[in-house]
Chains A and B, each alone.
Chain A
Amino acid sequence: QQQVKQSPQSLIVQKGGISIINCAYENTAFDYFPWYQQFPGKGPALLIAIRPDVSEKKEGRFTISFNKSAKQFSLHIMDSQPGDSATYFCAATLVQGAQKLVFGQGTRLTINP
């Protein structure tokens, strides 16, 4: 019930295209859903996060879509750039009580120039 499933494992997108990564969770108590971006040899960096009381959050070229009934959320990267090439992790947690982040398996994104 603590799992977060992420797909696809890897993704190749042309420059200027839209990158879409999907995640599904099981625990309906989760109330915080962040996405992290990680470059090789670096720590994960928070990209964007959403709470379950909204269905969409946009920050620049990055958008989270959230479907509470389906227990799914996704990351959309518009106008994908070569600099977006990285590994992306979705995560979920229950903020109350400072619970740990439960991570998806990660998606290696490659943007071809």
Chain B
Amino acid sequence: DSGVTQTPKHLITATGQRVTLRCSPRSGDLSVYWYQQSLDQGLQFLIQYYNGEERAKGNILERFSAQQFPDLHSELNLSSLELGDSALYFCASSAHDGGYTFGSGTRLTVV
């Protein structure tokens, strides 16, 4: 167990639908990062939150949004889903000294 918890582990949904992915960071970590990994692809940075505030944005579609709550857990919202959104979505958290830790991911399948 890495200490970063992601739910659900698997999600199957239809095109056009909306889903919410959840991430609980490692205890004490203030930063949460979301990454997307398509089949046989690298890790694409989506967005980062630090202590509730958006810190950095990467290649995140306008149909996607995220937030970090006062208890530091984060949610990634994906709407108007398309087949191409099928991927593994990873959350990571970090401490001030660099220790970036990844969760086990949510596998999203859009049918």
Which residue numbers of A lie inside 8 Å of B, CB to CB?
Answer: 32, 34, 36, 41-46, 49, 89, 91, 93, 95, 98-106
Which residues of chain B are within 8 angstroms of A104 by Cβ–Cβ distance? Answer: 42
Of chain A, the residue at the smallest CB distance from B99 is A46
Of chain B, the residue at the smallest CB distance from A106 is B42
Among A102, A103, A105, max chain B CB count under 10 A is at A103
**A46 B97 Cβ-Cβ under 8 A:** no
**A95 B97 Cβ-Cβ under 8 A:** yes
Tell me, in angstroms, the Cα distance from A32 to B94 when the chains sit together.
13
Which residues of chain A are within 8 angstroms of B102 by Cβ–Cβ distance? Answer: 36, 43-45
Which of these, B43, B94, B98, contacts A49 with CB under 8 Å? B98
Tell me the minimal C-beta distance from B95 to chain A in angstroms: 8
**A89 B2 Cβ-Cβ under 8 A:** no
Task: With A43-B105, A45-B102, A46-B101 as known contacts, state yes or no: A98 contacts B55, CB within 8 Å.
Answer: yes
Tell me the minimal C-beta distance from A50 to chain B in angstroms: 11
Of chain B, the residue at the smallest CB distance from A95 is B98
Task: With A95-B97, A100-B58 as known contacts, state yes or no: A89 contacts B104, CB within 8 Å.
Answer: no
Which residues of chain A are within 8 angstroms of B64 by Cβ–Cβ distance? Answer: none
Which residues of chain B are within 8 angstroms of A103 by Cβ–Cβ distance? Answer: 42-43, 45
- Name 27 A/B residue pairs within 8 A (Cβ), A-sorted: A34-B98, A36-B102, A41-B88, A41-B105, A41-B107, A43-B90, A44-B43, A44-B90, A44-B102, A45-B2, A45-B102, A46-B99, A89-B43, A91-B100, A95-B98, A98-B48, A98-B55, A100-B33, A100-B45, A100-B48, A101-B92, A102-B45, A103-B42, A103-B43, A103-B45, A104-B42, A105-B42
Which residues of chain B are within 8 angstroms of A42 by Cβ–Cβ distance? Answer: 104-105
Tell me the minimal C-beta distance from B26 to chain A in angstroms: 12
**A43 B104 Cβ-Cβ under 8 A:** yes
Which residues of chain B are within 8 angstroms of A99 by Cβ–Cβ distance? Answer: 56
B30 at the interface (CB under 8 A from A): yes
Which residues of chain B are within 8 angstroms of A105 by Cβ–Cβ distance? Answer: 42
